[in-house]
Protein backbone atom coordinates (compact mmCIF):
# COMPACT_ATOMS: atom_id res chain seq x y z
CA UNK A 1 0.00 0.00 0.00
CA UNK A 2 2.72 2.49 0.98
CA UNK A 3 4.95 1.82 -2.07
CA UNK A 4 1.95 2.09 -4.42
CA UNK A 5 1.01 5.50 -2.98
CA UNK A 6 4.56 6.75 -3.33
CA UNK A 7 4.89 5.49 -6.91
CA UNK A 8 1.59 7.05 -8.00
CA UNK A 9 2.13 10.44 -6.37
CA UNK A 10 5.73 10.65 -7.58
CA UNK A 11 4.65 9.75 -11.12
CA UNK A 12 1.93 12.39 -11.07
CA UNK A 13 4.35 15.00 -9.69
CA UNK A 14 7.04 14.28 -12.28
CA UNK A 15 4.75 13.93 -15.30
CA UNK A 16 2.41 16.86 -14.65
CA UNK A 17 2.69 19.05 -17.73
CA UNK A 18 0.16 21.79 -17.16
CA UNK A 19 -0.54 24.98 -15.26
CA UNK A 20 -3.15 25.08 -12.49
CA UNK A 21 -2.65 27.94 -10.00
CA UNK A 22 -0.09 30.80 -9.89
CA UNK A 23 0.46 30.15 -6.16
CA UNK A 24 2.14 26.87 -7.08
CA UNK A 25 5.03 28.93 -8.38
CA UNK A 26 4.88 32.42 -6.85
CA UNK A 27 4.06 31.43 -3.26
CA UNK A 28 6.27 28.34 -3.05
CA UNK A 29 8.95 27.70 -5.66
CA UNK A 30 9.82 31.28 -6.55
CA UNK A 31 10.47 32.49 -2.96
CA UNK A 32 12.55 29.37 -2.28
CA UNK A 33 14.54 29.95 -5.47
CA UNK A 34 15.04 33.59 -4.51
CA UNK A 35 16.15 32.65 -1.00
CA UNK A 36 18.61 29.95 -2.08
CA UNK A 37 19.93 31.11 -5.47
CA UNK A 38 19.60 34.85 -4.84
CA UNK A 39 17.25 35.79 -7.67
CA UNK A 40 13.58 35.38 -8.46
CA UNK A 41 10.38 37.39 -8.36
CA UNK A 42 8.57 38.13 -5.12
CA UNK A 43 4.92 39.15 -5.34
CA UNK A 44 3.37 41.92 -3.26
CA UNK A 45 2.61 39.55 -0.36
CA UNK A 46 6.36 39.17 0.19
CA UNK A 47 7.55 42.76 -0.31
CA UNK A 48 4.70 44.65 1.35
CA UNK A 49 5.53 46.58 4.53
CA UNK A 50 3.63 43.96 6.53
CA UNK A 51 4.42 40.68 4.70
CA UNK A 52 1.68 38.05 4.51
CA UNK A 53 3.71 35.00 3.59
CA UNK A 54 5.95 32.83 5.73
CA UNK A 55 9.10 31.19 4.40
CA UNK A 56 8.05 27.98 6.16
CA UNK A 57 6.29 26.36 3.21
CA UNK A 58 8.70 27.52 0.47
CA UNK A 59 11.55 26.22 2.64
CA UNK A 60 10.32 22.68 1.91
CA UNK A 61 11.92 23.07 -1.53
CA UNK A 62 15.30 24.25 -0.29
CA UNK A 63 16.77 20.76 0.38
CA UNK A 64 16.18 19.88 -3.27
CA UNK A 65 17.92 23.06 -4.41
CA UNK A 66 20.80 22.42 -2.00
CA UNK A 67 21.40 18.93 -3.36
CA UNK A 68 21.40 20.25 -6.94
CA UNK A 69 23.84 23.01 -6.00
CA UNK A 70 26.22 20.64 -4.22
CA UNK A 71 26.24 18.25 -7.18
CA UNK A 72 26.51 21.09 -9.69
CA UNK A 73 23.43 19.87 -11.51
CA UNK A 74 21.58 23.20 -11.45
CA UNK A 75 24.18 24.85 -13.70
CA UNK A 76 24.86 21.88 -15.99
CA UNK A 77 21.25 20.76 -16.30
CA UNK A 78 18.95 23.67 -15.37
CA UNK A 79 15.84 21.58 -15.96
CA UNK A 80 16.64 19.66 -12.76
CA UNK A 81 15.60 22.78 -10.85
CA UNK A 82 12.09 22.11 -12.13
CA UNK A 83 11.93 18.42 -11.28
CA UNK A 84 13.84 18.12 -8.00
CA UNK A 85 11.20 19.91 -5.89
CA UNK A 86 8.53 17.75 -7.51
CA UNK A 87 10.05 14.69 -5.86
CA UNK A 88 9.58 16.30 -2.46
CA UNK A 89 5.98 17.24 -3.15
CA UNK A 90 5.19 13.81 -4.55
CA UNK A 91 6.46 12.19 -1.35
CA UNK A 92 4.48 14.61 0.81
CA UNK A 93 1.36 13.94 -1.25
CA UNK A 94 1.66 10.20 -0.59
CA UNK A 95 1.14 10.89 3.12
CA UNK A 96 -2.51 11.66 2.40
CA UNK A 97 -3.15 8.25 0.82
CA UNK A 98 -1.25 6.42 3.53
CA UNK A 99 -2.77 8.12 6.56
CA UNK A 100 -6.32 8.29 5.22
CA UNK A 101 -6.23 4.48 5.46
CA UNK A 102 -5.23 4.69 9.11
CA UNK A 103 -7.95 7.28 9.64
CA UNK A 104 -10.54 5.04 7.95
CA UNK A 105 -9.59 2.13 10.19
CA UNK A 106 -10.05 4.25 13.31
CA UNK A 107 -13.22 6.10 12.32
CA UNK A 108 -14.90 3.15 10.54
CA UNK A 109 -13.13 -0.24 10.59
CA UNK A 110 -10.68 -2.33 8.61
CA UNK A 111 -13.31 -3.37 6.08
CA UNK A 112 -13.60 0.25 4.91
CA UNK A 113 -9.88 0.78 4.39
CA UNK A 114 -9.70 -0.50 0.82
CA UNK A 115 -12.69 1.51 -0.48
CA UNK A 116 -11.23 4.62 1.19
CA UNK A 117 -7.83 3.96 -0.33
CA UNK A 118 -9.37 3.41 -3.75
CA UNK A 119 -11.26 6.72 -3.57
CA UNK A 120 -8.09 8.53 -2.56
CA UNK A 121 -5.93 7.03 -5.32
CA UNK A 122 -8.53 7.66 -8.05
CA UNK A 123 -9.55 11.13 -6.85
CA UNK A 124 -9.63 13.64 -9.68
CA UNK A 125 -8.83 16.57 -7.43
CA UNK A 126 -5.93 14.74 -5.80
CA UNK A 127 -4.57 14.09 -9.29
CA UNK A 128 -4.99 17.75 -10.17
CA UNK A 129 -3.61 19.32 -7.02
CA UNK A 130 -2.17 17.02 -4.34
CA UNK A 131 1.30 16.55 -5.87
CA UNK A 132 1.72 20.22 -6.74
CA UNK A 133 3.71 22.76 -4.74
CA UNK A 134 0.59 24.36 -3.25
CA UNK A 135 0.32 25.12 0.46
CA UNK A 136 -3.17 23.59 0.40
CA UNK A 137 -1.66 20.29 -0.70
CA UNK A 138 0.74 20.02 2.25
CA UNK A 139 -2.06 21.33 4.47
CA UNK A 140 -4.16 18.39 3.26
CA UNK A 141 -1.47 15.82 4.06
CA UNK A 142 -0.72 17.26 7.51
CA UNK A 143 -4.43 17.50 8.36
CA UNK A 144 -4.93 13.86 7.41
CA UNK A 145 -1.96 12.77 9.51
CA UNK A 146 -3.26 14.78 12.47
CA UNK A 147 -6.78 13.36 12.15
CA UNK A 148 -5.34 9.83 12.10
CA UNK A 149 -3.79 10.60 15.52
CA UNK A 150 -6.96 12.15 16.89
CA UNK A 151 -8.29 10.27 19.98
CA UNK A 152 -11.44 8.93 18.34
CA UNK A 153 -12.06 6.25 20.96
CA UNK A 154 -11.68 8.82 23.72
CA UNK A 155 -14.26 11.09 22.08
CA UNK A 156 -16.78 8.29 21.62
CA UNK A 157 -16.31 6.75 25.05
CA UNK A 158 -19.49 6.88 27.15
CA UNK A 159 -17.63 6.44 30.40
CA UNK A 160 -17.73 9.37 32.76
CA UNK A 161 -14.97 7.88 34.84
CA UNK A 162 -11.56 9.36 34.22
CA UNK A 163 -9.88 6.20 35.43
CA UNK A 164 -11.86 3.90 33.15
CA UNK A 165 -11.35 6.21 30.18
CA UNK A 166 -7.62 6.45 30.69
CA UNK A 167 -7.16 2.71 31.17
CA UNK A 168 -9.29 1.62 28.21
CA UNK A 169 -7.88 4.08 25.69
CA UNK A 170 -4.45 4.91 27.08
CA UNK A 171 -2.90 4.35 23.64
CA UNK A 172 -5.24 6.97 22.23
CA UNK A 173 -4.30 9.39 24.99
CA UNK A 174 -0.63 9.00 24.19
CA UNK A 175 -1.26 10.04 20.57
CA UNK A 176 -2.85 13.38 21.42
CA UNK A 177 0.44 15.35 21.53
CA UNK A 178 1.25 13.96 18.07
CA UNK A 179 -2.15 15.06 16.83
CA UNK A 180 -1.54 18.55 18.20
CA UNK A 181 1.92 18.72 16.58
CA UNK A 182 0.59 17.91 13.10
CA UNK A 183 -2.42 20.17 13.59
CA UNK A 184 -0.11 23.02 14.59
CA UNK A 185 2.10 22.41 11.55
CA UNK A 186 -0.92 22.41 9.24
CA UNK A 187 -1.97 25.76 10.74
CA UNK A 188 1.58 27.05 10.33
CA UNK A 189 1.49 26.16 6.63
CA UNK A 190 -1.91 27.80 6.22
CA UNK A 191 -3.42 29.64 9.22
CA UNK A 192 -7.02 29.14 8.04
CA UNK A 193 -6.59 25.43 8.81
CA UNK A 194 -7.32 26.46 12.39
CA UNK A 195 -11.02 26.42 11.41
CA UNK A 196 -10.88 22.60 11.26
CA UNK A 197 -9.09 22.27 14.57
CA UNK A 198 -11.31 24.74 16.38
CA UNK A 199 -14.16 22.35 15.65
CA UNK A 200 -12.29 19.10 16.39
CA UNK A 201 -10.72 20.25 19.65
CA UNK A 202 -13.97 21.85 20.79
CA UNK A 203 -15.74 18.49 20.29
CA UNK A 204 -12.96 16.77 22.22
CA UNK A 205 -13.16 19.27 25.10
CA UNK A 206 -16.97 19.15 25.34
CA UNK A 207 -17.12 15.36 25.40
CA UNK A 208 -14.48 15.11 28.12
CA UNK A 209 -15.29 18.26 30.06
CA UNK A 210 -15.85 16.24 33.26
CA UNK A 211 -12.35 14.79 33.09
CA UNK A 212 -10.53 17.79 34.53
CA UNK A 213 -7.11 16.15 34.54
CA UNK A 214 -7.40 15.22 30.88
CA UNK A 215 -8.62 18.70 29.88
CA UNK A 216 -5.78 20.32 31.81
CA UNK A 217 -3.25 18.00 30.17
CA UNK A 218 -4.69 18.65 26.71
CA UNK A 219 -4.63 22.44 27.02
CA UNK A 220 -1.14 22.34 28.49
CA UNK A 221 0.15 20.31 25.54
CA UNK A 222 -1.72 22.52 23.06
CA UNK A 223 -0.28 25.68 24.59
CA UNK A 224 3.29 24.36 24.66
CA UNK A 225 3.22 22.93 21.15
CA UNK A 226 1.33 25.86 19.69
CA UNK A 227 3.63 28.44 21.23
CA UNK A 228 6.72 26.49 20.09
CA UNK A 229 5.50 26.36 16.48
CA UNK A 230 4.56 30.06 16.51
CA UNK A 231 7.95 30.97 17.96
CA UNK A 232 9.82 28.94 15.35
CA UNK A 233 7.85 30.47 12.49
CA UNK A 234 8.32 33.96 13.95
CA UNK A 235 12.08 33.38 14.22
CA UNK A 236 12.26 32.00 10.66
CA UNK A 237 10.33 34.91 9.15
CA UNK A 238 12.16 37.50 11.22
CA UNK A 239 15.47 36.15 9.91
CA UNK A 240 14.14 36.08 6.32
CA UNK A 241 12.68 39.59 6.31
CA UNK A 242 15.36 41.14 8.51
CA UNK A 243 12.86 42.61 10.97
CA UNK A 244 10.33 41.25 13.48
CA UNK A 245 7.56 39.73 11.36
CA UNK A 246 4.45 37.84 12.39
CA UNK A 247 3.05 36.61 9.10
CA UNK A 248 0.19 34.65 10.73
CA UNK A 249 -1.56 37.81 11.84
CA UNK A 250 -0.87 39.68 8.60
CA UNK A 251 -2.22 36.77 6.54
CA UNK A 252 -5.46 36.49 8.50
CA UNK A 253 -5.97 40.25 8.70
CA UNK A 254 -5.59 40.90 4.96
CA UNK A 255 -7.48 37.80 3.82
CA UNK A 256 -10.43 38.81 6.00
CA UNK A 257 -10.40 42.32 4.47
CA UNK A 258 -11.95 43.54 1.19
CA UNK A 259 -8.51 43.30 -0.45
CA UNK A 260 -8.93 39.51 -0.79
CA UNK A 261 -12.03 40.04 -2.96
CA UNK A 262 -9.84 41.85 -5.50
CA UNK A 263 -8.80 38.40 -6.75
CA UNK A 264 -12.40 37.33 -7.24
CA UNK A 265 -15.59 37.06 -5.25
CA UNK A 266 -18.11 34.22 -5.33
CA UNK A 267 -21.65 33.77 -3.94
CA UNK A 268 -22.15 32.28 -0.49
CA UNK A 269 -23.19 28.87 -1.87
CA UNK A 270 -20.04 28.46 -4.00
CA UNK A 271 -18.48 25.73 -1.84
CA UNK A 272 -21.70 23.74 -1.76
CA UNK A 273 -22.79 24.19 -5.37
CA UNK A 274 -19.41 24.23 -7.15
CA UNK A 275 -16.42 23.27 -5.00
CA UNK A 276 -17.97 20.13 -3.45
CA UNK A 277 -18.91 18.59 -6.84
CA UNK A 278 -15.47 19.39 -8.26
CA UNK A 279 -13.64 17.92 -5.27
CA UNK A 280 -15.73 14.73 -5.20
CA UNK A 281 -16.57 14.37 -8.94
CA UNK A 282 -17.86 10.81 -9.50
CA UNK A 283 -17.78 9.97 -5.79
CA UNK A 284 -20.27 12.72 -4.89
CA UNK A 285 -23.39 10.47 -4.76
CA UNK A 286 -21.61 8.10 -2.38
CA UNK A 287 -20.34 10.95 -0.20
CA UNK A 288 -23.86 12.32 0.21
CA UNK A 289 -25.23 8.84 0.89
CA UNK A 290 -22.47 8.18 3.43
CA UNK A 291 -23.35 11.42 5.24
CA UNK A 292 -27.00 10.31 5.33
CA UNK A 293 -26.04 6.91 6.75
CA UNK A 294 -23.84 8.46 9.44
CA UNK A 295 -26.68 10.63 10.71
CA UNK A 296 -29.43 8.05 10.29
CA UNK A 297 -27.56 5.29 12.09
CA UNK A 298 -26.07 7.55 14.77
CA UNK A 299 -22.45 6.70 13.96
CA UNK A 300 -20.72 9.13 16.28
CA UNK A 301 -17.24 9.22 14.73
CA UNK A 302 -18.52 9.61 11.19
CA UNK A 303 -21.05 12.21 12.30
CA UNK A 304 -18.20 14.22 13.81
CA UNK A 305 -16.40 13.98 10.46
CA UNK A 306 -19.52 15.16 8.61
CA UNK A 307 -19.95 17.98 11.11
CA UNK A 308 -16.35 19.10 10.63
CA UNK A 309 -16.84 19.21 6.86
CA UNK A 310 -20.07 21.20 7.17
CA UNK A 311 -18.56 23.60 9.72
CA UNK A 312 -15.49 24.25 7.55
CA UNK A 313 -17.55 24.86 4.42
CA UNK A 314 -19.90 27.17 6.30
CA UNK A 315 -17.10 29.31 7.75
CA UNK A 316 -15.27 29.52 4.42
CA UNK A 317 -18.55 30.55 2.78
CA UNK A 318 -18.56 33.75 4.86
CA UNK A 319 -15.42 34.97 3.03
CA UNK A 320 -15.75 36.71 -0.33
CA UNK A 321 -12.77 35.17 -2.13
CA UNK A 322 -13.31 31.46 -2.66
CA UNK A 323 -11.38 28.73 -4.51
CA UNK A 324 -11.86 24.98 -4.85
CA UNK A 325 -8.46 24.23 -3.36
CA UNK A 326 -9.29 25.96 -0.08
CA UNK A 327 -11.49 22.94 0.72
CA UNK A 328 -8.82 20.40 -0.22
CA UNK A 329 -8.01 19.49 3.42
CA UNK A 330 -11.54 18.11 3.92
CA UNK A 331 -11.39 15.86 0.84
CA UNK A 332 -9.91 12.86 2.73
CA UNK A 333 -12.80 13.18 5.18
CA UNK A 334 -15.22 13.18 2.26
CA UNK A 335 -13.59 9.96 1.07
CA UNK A 336 -14.45 8.35 4.42
CA UNK A 337 -18.12 9.19 3.86
CA UNK A 338 -17.91 7.79 0.34
CA UNK A 339 -16.31 4.56 1.56
CA UNK A 340 -19.05 4.14 4.16
CA UNK A 341 -21.65 4.28 1.38
CA UNK A 342 -19.78 1.99 -1.01
CA UNK A 343 -19.41 -0.81 1.55
CA UNK A 344 -23.02 -0.45 2.66
CA UNK A 345 -24.23 -0.78 -0.93
CA UNK A 346 -21.88 -3.71 -1.53
CA UNK A 347 -23.23 -5.51 1.52
CA UNK A 348 -26.80 -4.98 0.39
CA UNK A 349 -26.04 -6.51 -2.99
CA UNK A 350 -24.47 -9.50 -1.26
CA UNK A 351 -27.48 -10.32 0.91
CA UNK A 352 -28.27 -14.00 0.73
CA UNK A 353 -24.71 -14.85 -0.31
CA UNK A 354 -22.72 -15.24 2.91
CA UNK A 355 -19.51 -15.98 1.01
CA UNK A 356 -19.50 -12.40 -0.24
CA UNK A 357 -20.89 -10.71 2.84
CA UNK A 358 -18.62 -8.15 4.43
CA UNK A 359 -19.41 -7.25 8.04
CA UNK A 360 -17.94 -4.62 10.30
CA UNK A 361 -15.92 -7.38 11.96
CA UNK A 362 -14.38 -8.62 8.69
CA UNK A 363 -10.69 -8.03 8.43
CA UNK A 364 -9.10 -6.48 5.41
CA UNK A 365 -9.21 -8.75 2.38
CA UNK A 366 -7.58 -8.61 -1.01
CA UNK A 367 -10.93 -8.13 -2.75
CA UNK A 368 -12.15 -4.58 -3.38
CA UNK A 369 -15.58 -4.33 -1.77
CA UNK A 370 -17.23 -2.14 -4.42
CA UNK A 371 -20.03 -3.16 -6.77
CA UNK A 372 -19.02 -3.35 -10.42
CA UNK A 373 -21.34 -0.61 -11.66
CA UNK A 374 -20.17 1.69 -8.88
CA UNK A 375 -16.58 0.87 -9.78
CA UNK A 376 -17.22 1.84 -13.41
CA UNK A 377 -18.73 5.15 -12.33
CA UNK A 378 -15.82 5.95 -10.02
CA UNK A 379 -13.24 5.08 -12.67
CA UNK A 380 -14.65 7.75 -14.98
CA UNK A 381 -12.47 10.17 -13.01
CA UNK A 382 -9.30 8.50 -14.31
CA UNK A 383 -9.47 9.82 -17.94
CA UNK A 384 -10.19 13.28 -16.58
CA UNK A 385 -7.18 12.95 -14.26
CA UNK A 386 -4.94 11.89 -17.15
CA UNK A 387 -6.10 14.93 -19.10
CA UNK A 388 -5.32 17.46 -16.37
CA UNK A 389 -1.95 15.82 -15.69
CA UNK A 390 -0.69 15.56 -19.27
CA UNK A 391 -2.66 17.92 -21.49
CA UNK A 392 -4.38 20.80 -19.66
CA UNK A 393 -2.81 24.28 -20.05
CA UNK A 394 0.53 22.84 -21.14
CA UNK A 395 1.58 25.85 -23.19
CA UNK A 396 2.18 27.95 -20.09
CA UNK A 397 4.75 25.42 -18.90
CA UNK A 398 6.23 24.45 -22.27
CA UNK A 399 7.08 28.06 -23.07
CA UNK A 400 9.42 28.19 -20.09
CA UNK A 401 11.41 25.28 -21.56
CA UNK A 402 11.71 27.18 -24.83
CA UNK A 403 12.88 30.34 -23.08
CA UNK A 404 15.25 28.44 -20.78
CA UNK A 405 17.08 27.11 -23.83
CA UNK A 406 17.53 30.47 -25.56
CA UNK A 407 21.22 31.33 -26.12
CA UNK A 408 22.80 33.42 -23.38
CA UNK A 409 23.09 36.86 -24.94
CA UNK A 410 23.41 40.31 -23.35
CA UNK A 411 20.74 41.56 -25.73
CA UNK A 412 18.13 39.00 -24.64
CA UNK A 413 15.13 40.63 -23.01
CA UNK A 414 11.69 39.10 -22.56
CA UNK A 415 8.31 40.71 -22.00
CA UNK A 416 5.12 38.86 -21.03
CA UNK A 417 2.00 40.62 -22.34
CA UNK A 418 -0.32 38.20 -20.57
CA UNK A 419 -2.66 38.32 -17.57
CA UNK A 420 -0.44 38.49 -14.51
CA UNK A 421 1.25 35.33 -13.23
CA UNK A 422 0.22 33.27 -16.26
CA UNK A 423 3.51 31.35 -16.33
CA UNK A 424 6.15 30.29 -13.80
CA UNK A 425 9.23 32.48 -13.43
CA UNK A 426 12.87 31.92 -12.46
CA UNK A 427 12.06 28.71 -10.56
CA UNK A 428 11.40 27.22 -14.02
CA UNK A 429 13.87 29.31 -16.04
CA UNK A 430 16.91 29.41 -13.74
CA UNK A 431 18.53 32.10 -15.87
CA UNK A 432 20.68 34.47 -13.77
CA UNK A 433 21.46 36.47 -16.93
CA UNK A 434 17.80 37.52 -17.00
CA UNK A 435 17.63 38.42 -13.30
CA UNK A 436 18.67 42.06 -13.83
CA UNK A 437 15.67 44.40 -13.30
CA UNK A 438 13.86 45.04 -16.55
CA UNK A 439 15.53 42.23 -18.49
CA UNK A 440 12.48 40.05 -18.02
CA UNK A 441 9.13 41.48 -16.99
CA UNK A 442 5.42 40.69 -16.93
CA UNK A 443 2.29 42.74 -16.40
CA UNK A 444 1.46 43.17 -12.73
CA UNK A 445 -1.76 42.91 -10.73
CA UNK A 446 -1.05 44.45 -7.35
CA UNK A 447 -4.21 44.86 -5.26
CA UNK A 448 -5.72 48.20 -4.18
CA UNK A 449 -3.59 48.66 -1.06
CA UNK A 450 -4.37 51.63 1.15
CA UNK A 451 -7.33 52.98 -0.82
CA UNK A 452 -11.11 52.84 -0.51
CA UNK A 453 -12.08 52.74 -4.19
CA UNK A 454 -11.70 49.00 -4.68
CA UNK A 455 -14.54 48.73 -7.20
CA UNK A 456 -13.08 51.16 -9.75
CA UNK A 457 -9.42 50.33 -9.24
CA UNK A 458 -7.53 49.03 -12.28
CA UNK A 459 -4.20 47.23 -12.05
CA UNK A 460 -1.60 47.11 -14.83
CA UNK A 461 -3.15 44.03 -16.42
CA UNK A 462 -6.55 45.75 -16.52
CA UNK A 463 -5.09 48.92 -18.01
CA UNK A 464 -3.30 46.96 -20.73
CA UNK A 465 -6.22 44.79 -21.79
CA UNK A 466 -8.72 47.66 -21.78
CA UNK A 467 -6.90 48.94 -24.87
CA UNK A 468 -3.80 46.92 -25.84
CA UNK A 469 -2.92 48.99 -28.88
CA UNK A 470 -3.20 52.26 -26.96
CA UNK A 471 -1.02 50.82 -24.19
CA UNK A 472 1.70 49.72 -26.62
CA UNK A 473 1.65 53.11 -28.33
CA UNK A 474 1.77 55.15 -25.12
CA UNK A 475 4.01 53.03 -22.88
CA UNK A 476 6.57 51.83 -25.45
CA UNK A 477 8.93 53.85 -27.68
CA UNK A 478 7.78 54.47 -31.27
CA UNK A 479 10.74 52.45 -32.57
CA UNK A 480 12.54 49.32 -31.38
CA UNK A 481 16.05 49.81 -29.97
CA UNK A 482 18.01 46.92 -31.49
CA UNK A 483 20.22 46.70 -28.41
CA UNK A 484 17.09 45.78 -26.40
CA UNK A 485 17.93 47.59 -23.15
CA UNK A 486 16.12 46.65 -19.92
CA UNK A 487 12.80 48.36 -19.35
CA UNK A 488 13.20 51.24 -16.86
CA UNK A 489 9.83 50.94 -15.07
CA UNK A 490 7.90 47.93 -16.40
CA UNK A 491 5.91 47.02 -13.26
CA UNK A 492 4.72 48.43 -9.94
CA UNK A 493 6.59 47.76 -6.72
CA UNK A 494 4.06 47.62 -3.84
CA UNK A 495 6.04 49.72 -1.39
CA UNK A 496 5.14 52.90 0.49
CA UNK A 497 5.49 54.93 -2.72
CA UNK A 498 3.03 52.60 -4.46
CA UNK A 499 0.43 53.06 -1.70
CA UNK A 500 0.83 56.84 -1.66
CA UNK A 501 0.61 57.01 -5.46
CA UNK A 502 -2.63 55.04 -5.42
CA UNK A 503 -4.03 57.35 -2.77
CA UNK A 504 -3.12 60.41 -4.86
CA UNK A 505 -4.76 58.92 -7.96
CA UNK A 506 -7.86 58.09 -5.93
CA UNK A 507 -8.12 61.72 -4.77
CA UNK A 508 -7.73 63.03 -8.33
CA UNK A 509 -10.18 60.49 -9.70
CA UNK A 510 -7.82 59.94 -12.61
CA UNK A 511 -6.58 56.90 -14.50
CA UNK A 512 -4.90 54.11 -12.53
CA UNK A 513 -1.62 54.49 -14.41
CA UNK A 514 1.49 54.45 -12.25
CA UNK A 515 3.86 55.55 -15.00
CA UNK A 516 4.85 52.17 -16.36
CA UNK A 517 7.48 52.48 -19.08
CA UNK A 518 8.77 49.68 -21.30
CA UNK A 519 11.49 49.15 -23.86
CA UNK A 520 10.63 46.81 -26.69
CA UNK A 521 12.08 43.40 -25.73
CA UNK A 522 13.76 40.92 -28.00
CA UNK A 523 11.02 38.36 -27.24
CA UNK A 524 7.35 38.91 -26.53
CA UNK A 525 5.30 36.14 -24.88
CA UNK A 526 1.54 36.34 -25.40
CA UNK A 527 -1.62 34.28 -25.56
CA UNK A 528 -3.03 33.82 -29.06
CA UNK A 529 -6.20 35.66 -28.03
CA UNK A 530 -4.23 38.92 -27.96
CA UNK A 531 -3.67 38.68 -31.72
CA UNK A 532 -7.44 38.90 -32.21
CA UNK A 533 -7.52 42.36 -30.65
CA UNK A 534 -8.02 45.00 -33.38
CA UNK A 535 -4.73 46.52 -34.48
CA UNK A 536 -2.38 44.26 -32.48
CA UNK A 537 -1.17 42.04 -35.32
CA UNK A 538 -0.28 44.85 -37.75
CA UNK A 539 1.37 46.85 -34.94
CA UNK A 540 3.65 43.95 -33.95
CA UNK A 541 4.52 43.24 -37.57
CA UNK A 542 5.23 46.91 -38.18
CA UNK A 543 7.63 46.90 -35.23
CA UNK A 544 9.49 43.96 -36.77
CA UNK A 545 8.17 41.02 -34.71
CA UNK A 546 7.29 37.57 -36.01
CA UNK A 547 6.18 34.34 -34.37
CA UNK A 548 8.89 31.79 -33.56
CA UNK A 549 7.12 29.38 -31.19
CA UNK A 550 3.62 28.21 -30.36
CA UNK A 551 2.45 25.75 -27.71
CA UNK A 552 -0.67 24.57 -25.96
CA UNK A 553 -4.19 24.05 -27.25
CA UNK A 554 -5.79 27.04 -28.93
CA UNK A 555 -9.29 26.10 -27.73
CA UNK A 556 -8.53 25.80 -24.01
CA UNK A 557 -8.47 28.56 -21.46
CA UNK A 558 -10.93 31.38 -21.16
CA UNK A 559 -11.08 34.98 -22.26
CA UNK A 560 -7.62 36.51 -22.48
CA UNK A 561 -5.95 33.10 -21.95
CA UNK A 562 -7.30 31.43 -25.08
CA UNK A 563 -5.39 30.75 -28.27
CA UNK A 564 -2.39 28.89 -26.90
CA UNK A 565 0.92 30.50 -25.92
CA UNK A 566 2.99 32.30 -28.55
CA UNK A 567 6.51 33.69 -28.60
CA UNK A 568 7.28 36.55 -30.97
CA UNK A 569 10.85 37.55 -31.79
CA UNK A 570 12.17 40.82 -33.15
CA UNK A 571 14.30 40.50 -36.26
CA UNK A 572 14.08 39.08 -39.72
CA UNK A 573 12.30 35.76 -40.24
Q: What is the pLDDT of residues 392-426, one digit of tens each?
A: 999 999 999 999 999 999 899 999 999 999 999 99
> Is 431 found in the same domain as 384?
no
> Is 490 found in the same domain as 425?
yes
Residue 364 has a pLDDT of 44
Q: How many CB atoms lie within 10 A of CB 394?
A: 19
> Is 537 found in the same domain as 526?
yes
pLDDT in tens, 217-273: 889 999 999 999 999 999 999 999 999 999 988 888 777 666 777 777 889 999 999
| Residue 216, Cβ density class (10 Å: 0-12 exposed, 13-18 middle, ≥19 buried) | exposed
Q: Mean per-residue pLDDT for 200-215?
A: 86
> Is 430 found in the same domain as 380?
no
Indicate whether 322 belongs to any domain. Answer: yes
DSSP state of 517: B
Residue 317 has a pLDDT of 93
> Is 241 found in the same domain as 336?
yes
Indicate whether 81 belongs to any domain. Answer: yes
DSSP three-state, residue 503: helix
End-to-end C-alpha distance for the chain, whole angstroms: 55
Indicate whether 469 belongs to any domain. Answer: yes
Indicate whether 360 belongs to any domain. Answer: no
DSSP three-state, residue 190: coil
Residue 164 has a pLDDT of 43
Name the E strands within 61-164.
none
The answer to whether residue 568 scores a pLDDT higher than 60 is yes
In the structure, what pLDDT confidence band is assigned to residue 462 with cuts at 50, 70 and 90?
Answer: very high
Cβ contacts of 143 within 8 Å, gap of 6 or more? 182, 183, 186, 193, 196, 329, 332
> Is 387 found in the same domain as 399?
no
Question: Whole-angstrom Cα distance, residue 479 to residue 24?
Answer: 37
Indicate whether 359 belongs to any domain. Answer: no
Of the candidates 7, 15, 20, 36, which has an alpha carbon nearest to the alpha carbon of residue 83? 15
Residue 163 has a pLDDT of 47
Indicate whether 358 belongs to any domain. Answer: no
Indicate whether 266 belongs to any domain. Answer: yes
> Is 403 found in the same domain as 331?
no
| Alpha-carbon torsion angle 422, 130, 57, 257, nearest 10 | 60
Model pTM greater than 0.95?
no
> Is 426 found in the same domain as 375?
no
Residue 171 has a pLDDT of 67
Q: What are phi and psi of 68, to 5 degrees?
A: -60, -40
> Is 140 found in the same domain as 119?
yes
> Is 419 found in the same domain as 376?
no
Question: Whole-angstrom Cα distance, residue 394 to residue 551?
Answer: 7
Instruction: Annotate 22-46 with b (16+ C-beta within 10 A) or e (fewer).
Output: bbbbbbbbbbbbbbbbebbbbbbbb
pLDDT in tens, 84-137: 999 999 999 999 999 999 999 999 999 999 999 999 999 999 999 999 999 999
Q: What are phi and psi of 351, to 5 degrees?
A: -60, 135
Q: Mean per-residue pLDDT for 524-548?
A: 96
DSSP 222-269: HHHHHHHHHHHHHHHHHHHHTS---HHHHHHHHHTSGGGGGG----TT
> Is 346 found in the same domain as 216?
yes
> Is 155 found in the same domain as 60?
yes
Indicate whether 361 belongs to any domain. Answer: no
Domain that holds residue 555: 394-570
Question: Whole-angstrom Cα distance, residue 195 to residue 310?
Answer: 11
Which of the pair, 168 or 435, is modelled with greater confidence? 435
- Number of structural domains found in the chain: 2
The answer to whether residue 365 scores a pLDDT higher than 60 is no
Question: Whole-angstrom Cα distance, residue 351 to residue 363?
Answer: 19
Q: For 540-571, give the secondary structure using H, E and C.
A: HHHHCEEEEEEECCCCCCCHHHCCCEEEEEEC
Question: Whole-angstrom Cα distance, residue 29 to residue 39?
Answer: 12
Which strands, in side-by-side order, build the sheet including 545-551?
A: 440-442, 414-417, 523-527, 565-570, 545-551
Amino acid sequence: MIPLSIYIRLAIALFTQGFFQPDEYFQALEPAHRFFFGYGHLTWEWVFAQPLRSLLYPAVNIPAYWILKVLGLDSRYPVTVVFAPRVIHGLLAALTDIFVCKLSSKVLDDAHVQPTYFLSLTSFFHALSLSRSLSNSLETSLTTVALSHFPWDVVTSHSASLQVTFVSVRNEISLIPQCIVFAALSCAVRPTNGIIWLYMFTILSLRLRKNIDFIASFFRDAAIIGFTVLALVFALDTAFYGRPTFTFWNFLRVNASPVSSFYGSSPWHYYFSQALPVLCTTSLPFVLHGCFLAVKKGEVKLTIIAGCIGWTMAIYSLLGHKEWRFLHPVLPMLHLLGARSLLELYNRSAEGDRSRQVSSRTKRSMKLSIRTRHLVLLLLSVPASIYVILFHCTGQIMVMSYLRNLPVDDSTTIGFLMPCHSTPWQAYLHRPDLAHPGKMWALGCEPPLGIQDHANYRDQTDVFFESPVAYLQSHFPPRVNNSFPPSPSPISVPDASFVSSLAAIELRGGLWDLGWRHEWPKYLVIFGALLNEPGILPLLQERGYYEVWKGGWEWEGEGKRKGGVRVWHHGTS
